[in-house]
């Protein structure tokens, strides 16, 4: 029973009453704020006018934080059917930040000394206190400096309320004498044949009665049932393990395996587990799980990688964050994870145990997205934690180590049934203190069998050895050839747990929602406020602005600045992913820093806070096509990559055009590429002028498979390796692409029509370029009658370039849930293409 609706909150400063009074029927809440859970205090208050425009300009820094120095009350009235004689009721809190006093029907049932820790989960036996009509009152206190709370590090400003509140679900469970809790189903797969698997069911049984109880633990799976007789002593709590040696239905033939995106289907199973006493159900649980085998390995160079069901997988990931006030809805989560799949990524990294419920993890299971989850560096640096830190961070005292170790246990027990989770991070920038690390290992050895990683950085623990990961940057702009160089610390070898090219600007439509009209141009400190909060760097757009000017010329105005920023963003982000793909198996994983933003931002994002993709989104999608042709900036060669599940037969083609639009070179080859393999295809000639490289692949029926496009300079980028820092490697020579601003104009034409496709709508767009000039870097967008961008939608391709005389058809999928106005407008704009608009009316759909 979820306690979700009809909550109210209010500051204790506004209430002259005790917890006994607040949880009584006579207490009135007319002036309280209504809400649903989960909700932080700011998550509730942000719905009201006082906080309406806090994300615009620099308004956020003026928020009055004094109301959050006091405790806040959460109050809920609920009805519960009368308990039967042997029935028990348990009240559970999945997440409270940071501590709380809890009252039920005038009685305090827990205090803030025991209800403490954002990542603890609490179960309270409320059997003696519940009635038919109940009032629950929770007094919440925010985290104080030094307390290990939810943290956003330097990604965005700190939440004004430090995320105080009940930020995860609250629920009540009813059972008779025996309860079932924390059920986990583990799988072992025959990795040679993949045609059989063995399951082990582990569950916690608790006998609440003062008598010996004998019953039957019953499991139902795929139409088959097992029954295991069990006797529990009075008040006994026991971990029961059921293996295939006890019941043959846990030995599966031809199991439907869970695979990550682009390797196969993410198949899921369901088991119903019940405890029966005299043929009456005492408690039951429905468990969703996947059958898969995850193992890690180390390359000859000492880098960690992963096997999924016995097959190597290049982890292509990006860093997830929740909303600044933890307001992520299931609908928003689903849109974001659909974006992840659409970009052909197969993973997300959670530097924090994010999620206001298990919804985020359920969706990763559903969509085949690998999850790397664990602790944040927020507790490893004094200016974030608020107390002194050393080489092992800020978790020092025995009390704090016990709190965090227990918190890890709670999170693992809560999440361990998700096949999408492939590893636990026990640290980020630093190793855990050895005493704490030993506690972690002892806990994990008892409750889980996944790999664990003691830090996201390249470090060696005296307890568990080398992490096999690297966190060598960069975090701000580097040139595309950086990623291919053996001199690059963050380059394409090993597993880079967080890296990227820094500023990744939203589209102009989003920027206008976060920057006041009178501060849009020139770039100023208001823009800088929406960069990161890091003190050393990345807190202005200085690097982006200088890189744009050096590469493409000084921007004339805001539109010119943004189109050049988009091009820099597209080119740089694509190269990062492509370099790691070209260098498998030496490259084992890459995490773009970051995937999304907790508030309206200019840094580290593949789509913006308003869920509008950046230019980088489409370059990541292009870079990670399962079969793709990729240009290596160092070798001056084109490689074919196959990360699909099957061998592919393709015809690869390249066309090289000069800046004068004349065809310089053209080649075609037929290829057979095994899965998880890379082959060299073309060697480019020396360039006599800045040039454009078009690549495409077709299958044996000459049907389109993938395409790619590059603009190349006769004067290549030259990184200044001697000036490399953890932030970036600057250039001592920048490729000169200023000619892009004076290209010959293209008269590319566009038309569109809706085509039938199930429940969703599909807009088919045809672009036809003239023979005289290529059409460079075309952005397509859809707008409603109010000229707002329509979102979410899924473009097959965007920010695309057409060769002279090329005709191309792409599709835009519009989900059924996306609301369309009577008239929608398709807008096309490019560097050398005049803006065009096509209006589509409802009747054409």
Backbone angles phi, psi at 545, to 5 degrees: -60, -45
The band of 434, judged by pLDDT with boundaries at 50, 70 and 90, is very high
* Angle value at C-alpha 84, between 81 and 90, nearest 5 degrees: 70
| pLDDT attached to residue 843 | 57
The whole model's pTM is what? Answer: 0.98
| pLDDT attached to residue 704 | 86
The reply to whether 627-716 and 749-844 are identical in fold is: yes
Q: What is the mean pLDDT of residues 658-664?
A: 97
The CATH architecture to which 749-844 belongs is Sandwich (2.60)
* Alpha carbon distance 643, 626 (integer Å): 5
* Alpha carbon distance 200, 271 (integer Å): 12
The band of 43, judged by pLDDT with boundaries at 50, 70 and 90, is very high
Core vs surface per residue 484-499: b (16+ CB within 10 A) or e: bbeebbbbbbbbbbbb
The band of 703, judged by pLDDT with boundaries at 50, 70 and 90, is confident
* Alpha carbon distance 31, 351 (integer Å): 38
The band of 55, judged by pLDDT with boundaries at 50, 70 and 90, is very high
| pLDDT attached to residue 327 | 98
Structural domain spans, the chain: 7-175, 180-289, 315-499+571-618, 627-716, 749-844
| pLDDT attached to residue 845 | 44
* Percent of the chain predicted with pLDDT > 90: 97
| pLDDT attached to residue 842 | 66
Question: CA Rg, the chain, in Å?
Answer: 28
Ramachandran region, residue 300 (left: φ > 0; alpha: ψ -120 to 50; beta: rest):
alpha
Kindly report the number of other CB atoms within 10 A of residue 220's CB atom: 16
Alpha helices in 26-70 (DSSP H): 41-45
Cβ atoms 297, 305 nearer than 8 A: yes
Q: What is the pLDDT of residues 65-98, one digit of tens each?
A: 999 999 999 999 999 999 999 999 999 999 999 9
The band of 756, judged by pLDDT with boundaries at 50, 70 and 90, is confident
* Alpha carbon distance 800, 780 (integer Å): 9
Q: What is the pLDDT of residues 619-643, one digit of tens each?
A: 999 999 999 999 999 999 999 999 9
| pLDDT attached to residue 391 | 98
Core vs surface per residue 244-257: b (16+ CB within 10 A) or e: eeebebbebeebbb
The CATH architecture to which 7-175 belongs is Sandwich (2.60)
Q: What is the mean pLDDT of residues 812-816?
A: 96
The CATH H-level superfamily of 627-716 is Immunoglobulins (2.60.40.10)
Contacts of 181 (CB under 8 A, 6+ apart): 203, 204, 206, 285
Cα dist from 543 to 301, 388, 719, whole Å: 33, 31, 15
The residue count for the chain: 845
**Burial class of residue 695 (count of CB atoms within 10 Å of its CB; 0-12, 13-18, 19+):** buried
User: Is 90 exceeded by the pLDDT of residue 676?
Assistant: yes
| pLDDT attached to residue 2 | 98
Q: What is the mean pLDDT of residues 6-15?
A: 97
Q: What is the pLDDT of residues 235-266, one digit of tens each?
A: 999 999 999 999 999 999 999 999 999 999 99
Q: What is the pLDDT of residues 818-844, one digit of tens each?
A: 989 889 999 999 999 999 999 998 654
Kindly report the number of other CB atoms within 10 A of residue 509's CB atom: 16
In the predicted model, what is the mean pLDDT of the chain?
Answer: 97
**Burial class of residue 221 (count of CB atoms within 10 Å of its CB; 0-12, 13-18, 19+):** buried
Q: What is the mean pLDDT of residues 528-552?
A: 98
Q: What is the mean pLDDT of residues 197-212?
A: 98
Q: Does domain 315-499+571-618 have CATH number 3.20.20.80?
A: yes
Contacts of 222 (CB under 8 A, 6+ apart): 249, 252, 269
Cα dist from 303 to 176, 424, 587, 591, 834, whole Å: 51, 17, 8, 15, 49
Contacts of 641 (CB under 8 A, 6+ apart): 581, 582, 584, 627, 628, 629, 630, 673, 677, 678
* Alpha carbon distance 421, 414 (integer Å): 12
* Angle value at C-alpha 649, between 769 and 308, nearest 5 degrees: 110
Q: What is the mean pLDDT of residues 539-556?
A: 99
| pLDDT attached to residue 844 | 47
Q: What is the pLDDT of residues 478-529, one digit of tens each?
A: 999 999 999 999 999 999 999 999 999 999 999 999 999 999 999 999 999 9
* Alpha carbon distance 433, 375 (integer Å): 13
Contacts of 578 (CB under 8 A, 6+ apart): 483, 623, 628, 630, 631
Q: What is the mean pLDDT of residues 549-577?
A: 99
Q: What is the mean pLDDT of residues 139-155?
A: 98
* Alpha carbon distance 818, 338 (integer Å): 14
Q: Per CATH, which fold does 180-289 belong to?
A: Immunoglobulin-like (2.60.40)
User: Is 60 exceeded by the pLDDT of residue 278?
Assistant: yes
User: Is 70 exceeded by the pLDDT of residue 722?
Assistant: yes
């Amino acid at each position: 029973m979820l306690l979700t609706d009809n909550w109210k909150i209010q500051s204790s400063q506004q209430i002259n009453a005790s917890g006994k009074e607040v949880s009584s029927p006579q207490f009135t809440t007319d002036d309280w704020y209504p809400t649903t859970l989960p909700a932080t205090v700011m998550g509730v208050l942000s719905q009201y006018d006082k906080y309406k425009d806090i994300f615009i300009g620099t308004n956020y820094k003026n928020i009055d934080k004094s109301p959050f120095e006091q405790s806040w009350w959460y109050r809920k009235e609920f009805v519960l059917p009368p308990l039967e004689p042997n029935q028990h009721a348990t009240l559970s809190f999945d997440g409270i930040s940071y501590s709380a006093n809890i009252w039920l029907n005038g009685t305090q049932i827990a205090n803030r000394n025991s209800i403490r820790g954002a990542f603890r989960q609490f179960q309270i036996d409320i059997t003696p206190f519940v009635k038919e009509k109940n009032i629950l009152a929770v007094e919440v206190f925010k985290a104080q400096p030094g307390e290990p709370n939810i943290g956003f590090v330097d990604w965005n400003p700190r939440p004004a309320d430090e995320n105080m509140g009940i930020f995860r679900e609250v629920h009540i469970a009813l059972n008779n004498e025996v309860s079932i809790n924390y059920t986990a189903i583990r799988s072992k797969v025959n990795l040679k044949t993949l045609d059989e698997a063995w399951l082990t069911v582990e569950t916690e049984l608790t006998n609440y009665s003062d008598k010996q109880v004998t019953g039957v633990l019953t499991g139902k799976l795929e139409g088959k049932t097992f029954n295991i007789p069990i006797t529990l002593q009075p008040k006994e709590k026991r971990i029961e393990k059921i293996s295939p040696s006890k019941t043959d239905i846990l030995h599966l033939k031809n199991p439907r395996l869970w695979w990550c995106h682009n390797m196969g289907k993410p198949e899921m199973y369901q088991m119903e587990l019940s405890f029966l006493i005299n043929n009456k159900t005492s408690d039951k649980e429905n468990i969703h799980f996947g059958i898969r085998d995850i193992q890690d390995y180390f390359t000859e160079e000492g880098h960690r990688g992963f096997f999924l069901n016995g097959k190597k997988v290049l982890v292509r990931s990006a860093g997830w964050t929740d909303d600044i006030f933890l307001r992520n809805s299931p609908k928003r989560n689903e849109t974001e994870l659909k974006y992840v799949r659409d970009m052909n990524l197969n993973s997300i990294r959670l530097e924090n145990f994010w999620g206001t419920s298990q919804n985020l993890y359920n969706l990763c299971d559903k969509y085949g997205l690998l999850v790397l989850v664990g602790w944040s560096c927020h507790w490893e640096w004094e200016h974030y934690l608020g107390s002194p830190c050393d080489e092992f961070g800020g978790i020092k005292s025995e009390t704090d180590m016990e709190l965090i170790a227990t918190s890890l246990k709670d999170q693992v027990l809560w999440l361990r049934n998700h096949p999408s989770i492939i590893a636990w991070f026990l640290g980020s920038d630093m190793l855990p203190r050895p005493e704490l690390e030993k506690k972690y290992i002892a806990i994990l050895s008892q409750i889980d069998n996944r790999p664990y990683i003691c830090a996201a950085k390249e470090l060696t623990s005296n307890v568990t050895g080398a992490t096999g990961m690297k966190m060598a940057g960069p975090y701000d702009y580097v040139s595309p050839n950086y990623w291919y160089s053996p001199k690059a610390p963050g380059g394409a070898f090993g597993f880079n747990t967080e890296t990227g090219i820094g500023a990744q600007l939203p589209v102009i439509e989003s920027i206008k929602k976060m920057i006041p009209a009178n501060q849009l141009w020139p770039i100023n400190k208001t823009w800088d406020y929406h960069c990161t909060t890091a003190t050393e760097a990345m807190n202005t757009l200085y690097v982006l602005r200088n890189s744009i000017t050096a590469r493409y010329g000084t921007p004339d105005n805001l539109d010119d600045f943004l189109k050049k920023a988009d091009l820099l963003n597209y080119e740089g982000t694509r190269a990062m992913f492509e370099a790691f793909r070209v260098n498998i198996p030496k490259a084992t994983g890459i995490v773009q820093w970051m995937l999304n933003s907790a508030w309206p931002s200019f840094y580290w994002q593949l789509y913006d806070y308003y869920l509008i993709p950046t230019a980088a989104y489409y370059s990541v999608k292009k870079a990670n096509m399962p079969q793709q042709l990729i240009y290596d900036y160092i070798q001056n060669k084109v490689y074919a990559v196959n990360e699909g599940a099957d061998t592919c037969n393709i015809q690869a083609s390249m066309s090289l055009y000069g800046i004068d639009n004349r065809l310089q070179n053209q080649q075609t080859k037929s290829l057979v590429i095994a899965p998880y393999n890379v082959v060299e295809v073309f060697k480019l000639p020396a360039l006599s002028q800045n040039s454009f490289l078009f690549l495409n692949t077709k299958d044996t029926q000459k049907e389109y498979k993938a395409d790619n496009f590059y603009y190349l300079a006769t004067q290549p980028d030259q990184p200044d390796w001697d000036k490399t820092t953890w932030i970036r490697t600057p250039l001592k020579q920048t490729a000169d692409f200023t000619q892009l601003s004076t290209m010959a104009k293209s008269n590319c034409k566009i038309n569109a029509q809706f085509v039938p496709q199930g429940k969703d709508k599909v807009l088919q767009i045809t672009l036809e370029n003239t023979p005289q000039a290529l059409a460079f870097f075309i952005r397509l967008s859809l707008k409603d009658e109010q000229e707002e961008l329509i979102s979410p939608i899924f473009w097959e391709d965007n920010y695309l370039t057409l060769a002279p005389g090329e005709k191309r058809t792409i599709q835009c999928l519009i989900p059924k849930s996306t609301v369309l106005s009577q008239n929608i407008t398709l807008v096309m704009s490019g560097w050398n293409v005049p803006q065009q608009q096509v209006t589509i009316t409802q009747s054409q759909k």
